[in-house]
Structure 1
Amino acid sequence: MVATGNVVKEFKIGNTRIKICDDYCRDKNKADVEAILKRIAVDAIGPLSVAAYNSK
């Protein structure tokens, strides 16, 4: 079963069709969005730091 949602962007990479939906954040206020972005940044900084260190 393929989930459907509010598609805001659709594109293809090779034979793969990609749909980006905003269902998770569409009804969020500015404070909620800031909290989501902060959580993403905190989750990403570790792997990004390791990758940057290892590329040297």
Structure 2
Amino acid sequence: MDKRLLEILVCPLCKSTLHLDSEKHELICKADRLAYPIRNDIPVMLVDEARSLSADECN
């Protein structure tokens, strides 16, 4: 994923910084405990498409 894009993307729900999980191809919002998928190098920034993270995954 392009690092410049990662610098400007924020969580659509709370506007906090996202963290890249390159192994799972997801952008992580620790504040909302959501993981947004990256499909074909395109982040899917829809809350309905995000998966909820467990407490262990947020650490």
Normalized against structure 2, the TM-score is what? Answer: 0.21
Normalized per residue, the structure richer in helix is 1
Q: RCO (CA 8 Å, sep 6+): is it higher in 1 or 2?
A: 2
Higher radius of gyration, 1 or 2: 1
Normalized per residue, the structure richer in strand is 2
Normalized against structure 1, the TM-score is what? Answer: 0.22
